[in-house]
Amino acid sequence: MTRTSVFALTLGLCCAAIGPESSRAPEAGPALAPRPSPAEVRVWNGFFDSGERLIDAARVRADTVALIDLSRRLAENRADAERRHGSLPPALARRATDLRAAIRATLEALFESGQTTGKKTASLAIPQRPVHENRALPGGFDGVPSARIREDAGGLFTFRWPLHNAVVGVPFGYRRDPIDRDRLGFHDGVDMLANIGDPVFAAAPGDIVSAGRRGGGGIVVTIRHGAGYRTHYLHLSRVFVEPGDRVSGGSLIALAGNTGRSTGPHLHFTVQRHGKPVDPVTIIGLRVGR
C-alpha cells in the first residue's frame, strides 16, 4: 500500500469517526407546552359564562366588591394557564379580554355614579379649589377645573384628577425620606391621600405602556400621552388595564393601595415630559394639603 493510500485511508477513518456536521443528530428544541384539554376549555367557558352573569347581577346591586374579586380570579386563572400552556387558545383569549373589558366598564360606571356597596371605596372627601386659577379651564373631575395642554400635533387634551375628592399630602420637590429620615431626597411626584380600594382614573387619554409590579413602586401603571407626556401611578392594589390598551381621560385603570416601598395607603402620581418630572400642580388644579 502506497503512502498516499495509507493517508487517504487514515483520513477516511477520521472523517467517519467525526462524521459530517449534517450527520449529527439534531439537538432537541424546547418542548412545546401542551394545549388545554377539552375538559379545561369547558371549564374556561363555564367561568366566562358565570362571570358575565355575575357582572349583570353586580351592576344591578352596585356590588363593586364582587367585580373586583372577579377581576382577581380572572387574572390569576389566566396567569396559571399561561404558565402551563404558554398562552390561551385565540377563542378563549378573546373571551378573557372581553370579560376584563366588561368588568372595567361596569366598575367605572359604578364609581362614576357613586353607587357602590360593600367595602368602602370613596376617597377622603376634602373640599378643594384649584391652585393655579389663571391656568384652569373647565373639564376636571367633580367640576374641579383642570389645565388643558396643547399637543404637538395641534390637538388638545386635558389632564384631570387621578382620584375623586383627593388632596395632595406630600408635594413635589425635595423632602426627607419618609422611611430613612436622615436622608434628603427628590420627590418626583405628589402623594395623594387615598384608601386602599379607591378607584384610580387615567389623568388624560393615552396608551398603557406598562402595568404590573415595579420595585419600590409596588404595582405601577404608566400611560403615554401626547406632547411627550407620561403619567405614572404607584403603590396600587389592583389594575384593570394591560400594556397596549388605549384609555380615555377619566377611564378607570386601577385601585389605590399600599404596595411597594410605602408607609401607608396613598397614590403616588408622577407627570413627566420628555422623561423629566413635572410638578403636577402646575398642570392640574390640585390643592396642596399640609
pLDDT of residue 151 exceeding 80: no
As separate numbers, helices (DSSP H) first and strands (DSSP E) second, the chain gives 4, 14
Q: What is the count of structural domains for the chain?
A: 2
pLDDT, tens digit (0-9, with 9 covering 90-100), for 252-267: 999 999 898 887 888 9
pLDDT, tens digit (0-9, with 9 covering 90-100), for 50-93: 999 999 998 888 888 888 989 989 988 888 888 888 888 899 99
Mean pLDDT of the chain: 75
Considering only CA atoms, which of 120, 121, 115, 106 is closest in space to residue 53? Answer: 106
Q: Which residue has the higher pLDDT, 82 or 179?
A: 82
Residue 206 lies in a domain: yes
Residue 11 lies in a domain: no
Same domain? 46 vs 153: no
CATH number at residue 256: 2.70.70.10
Residue 15 is predicted with a pLDDT of 43
Range of the domain at 65: 38-113
Same domain? 72 vs 205: no
Residue 125 is predicted with a pLDDT of 29
Identify whether the C-beta of residue 223 lies closer than 8 Å to the C-beta of residue 207.
Answer: yes
Task: Give the C-alpha distances (Å, rounded to integers) separating 142 from 70, 161, 199, 250, 257.
Answer: 28, 9, 14, 11, 22
> Does this model's pTM top 0.85?
no
Residue 16 lies in a domain: no
| DSSP conformational letter for 123 | P
Q: What percent of the chain has pLDDT over 70?
A: 68
Question: 27-36, 89-98, 113-122, 192-201: which range is least confident on average?
Answer: 113-122
Same domain? 104 vs 149: no
Which pLDDT band holds residue 115 (cuts at 50, 70, 90)?
A: low
Residue 155 is predicted with a pLDDT of 59
Question: 17-31, 116-130, 163-177, 244-258: which range is least confident on average?
Answer: 116-130
Residue 222 lies in a domain: yes
Residue 2 lies in a domain: no
Same domain? 147 vs 222: yes
Residue 184 CA to its chain's centroid (Å): 30
Q: What are 68's three cell numbers? A: 373586583
Which residue is listed with cell 379607591? 198
Identify whether the C-beta of residue 116 lies closer than 8 Å to the C-beta of residue 107.
Answer: no
Residue 138 is predicted with a pLDDT of 35
Give per-residue burial for 67-103: e unless 16+ CB within 10 Å, then b. Answer: bbebbeebbeebeebeeebeebeeebeebbeebbebb
Q: Which residue has the higher pLDDT, 230 or 144?
A: 230
